[in-house]
Amino acid sequence: MKWGFRWYGEKDSIPLKHFKQVPGTDGVVGTLLNKLPGDVWEIDEIRMFKESIEKEGLQLLGIESVAVHDAIKAGSKDRDAYIENYIQTIRNLAACDIHLVCYSFKPIFGWAKTNLHYENPDGSYSLVFDQAVVEHMKASDMFQLVNSQTNGFKLPGWEEERLKKFHELMAMYEHVTEDDLFDNLVYFLKRVIPVCEEVDVKMAIHPDDPPWQIFNLPRITKNLADYKRIIEAVNSPCNGVTLCTGSLGANPDTNLVEVIHELKDRIHFIHLRNIEFLGERRFRESAHLSIDGSFDMYALMKALVDVGFDGVIRPDHGRSIWDEVAMPGYGLYDRALGFTYLKGLHEAIVKSQER
């Protein structure tokens, strides 16, 4: 198991050495921020990014994410050229000794929260999702809502360039059903996965956040059944998943311990996040500790140890605490507290099993 943090590159407010100062950190996951979906990532660019991390004594544990072009997701006529580019990027990553690629197959909204600065009773701030807010809103207004709360940071997936293309994108997905989207994913995986097998790259699809339909857009990574369907459609160890507990677990019907046991060695990447249910389809992202949220984080970590999880693990969104100014969800302080807590759970579970 490799432990890390998500890092947003040179523009991140957090320097790599601060991650390095959190004991037990092996490295970071990151992405080439200058790349648009569909671009080929050149070997030189990947190598430069990787070396910028290694010179600080950390490893690049994987890529989060290599974005999938909308032509592939929507199944447009020109998708094959973009798939070829994706395959070339995978080959180039492998040539740089990078073997984990997180991606998602979600139309338009990669993630959605309705309040990025929800004030907790202790004066800390959390991200909150409330379905009631979304229901009375046009999809295009969601961009406005999110972009008005970013602390001046560019949020991945919510770039203004995307908003400009928004109506075009909505039209692109207008007639795409869930079955179409699933078929388009399988079409993509049938071409990509054989190359991944050849060069030893593990693909890890990220779940929907929130894990139910919003704005009538199709969603195919909502729950365990969706994940099983994807894994079975292209049955290869390279066709795996990112288990993002705060995304998948936002549906209280999903049993995350069961998900870990069912998917086992197909889980290549873990995002550990805790949330507190505030009502029907309404939740806040809490601190990582079990006592602050609705998940039993001990049970999750124990399940990961029990199935012999051997991939990359990182704390996911934290609260904003101690007046830190950072990208919502991605400050250092609360993620470092979460990291240390999770590391402690892991040590206790492993040692108790040795005795």
Among candidate residues 173, 227, 330, 341, the one labeled active-site is 330
Q: Which is nearer to Mn ion, 79 or 266 (CB)?
A: 266
| Residue 71 or 127 having the CB closest to Mn ion | 127
Decide: 199 and 90 in contact? Cβ < 8 Å. yes
Nearest to Mn ion of 106, 346 (CB atom): 106
Cβ-proximal residues to 84 (8 Å cutoff; 6+ apart), any chain: none
196 part of the active site:
no
The catalytic position among 317, 333, 341, 346 is 317
DSSP string of 34-86, one letter each residue: TPPTTPPPPHHHHHHHHHHHHTTT-EEEEEE--PPPHHHHHT-TTHHHHHHHH
**Residues 99, 268, 271, 288: which is the catalytic one?**
271
Given 70, 209, 316, 334, which residue is catalytic? 316
Cα three-residue angle 153-154-155, rounded to 5 degrees: 105
Q: What is the Cα–Cα distance from 37 to 19, expressed in whole angstroms?
A: 28
Q: How many CA atoms lie within 13 A of 315 on its CB side?
A: 33
Give burial (CB, 10 Å; 0-12/13-18/19+) of 60. buried
CB of 301 to Mn ion, least distance (A): 17
Given a contact cutoff of 8 angstroms between Cβ atoms, the answer to whether 147 and 160 are in contact is yes
- C-beta separation of 4 from 26 below 8 A: yes
The residue sitting closest to Mn ion, measured at its beta carbon, is: 244
Per annotation, catalytic residue among 69, 99, 206, 268:
206
> Shortest gap between Cβ of 58 and Mn ion (angstroms)?
20
The C-alpha angle 231, 237, 242, rounded to 5 degrees, equals 65
Shortest distance in whole angstroms from residue 138 CB to Mn ion: 26
Active site residue 99: no
Q: Is 167 a catalytic residue?
A: no
The CB-of-317 to Mn ion minimum distance in angstroms stands at: 8
Shortest distance in whole angstroms from residue 111 CB to Mn ion: 8
Give 226's contacts (C-beta < 8 A, 6+ positions apart).
220
Provide the binding-site residues for Mn ion, judged by CB under 5 A: 244, 271
Q: How far is the CB of 354 from Mn ion (least distance, A)?
A: 31
Nearest residue (CB) to Mn ion, 115 versus 247:
247
Q: Which is nearer to Mn ion, 94 or 108 (CB)?
A: 108
Nearer to Mn ion (CB atom), residue 155 or residue 244 = 244
Cβ atoms within 10 Å, residue 107:
20
Residue 23 DSSP class: T
Residues that are catalytic = 206, 244, 271, 316-317, 330
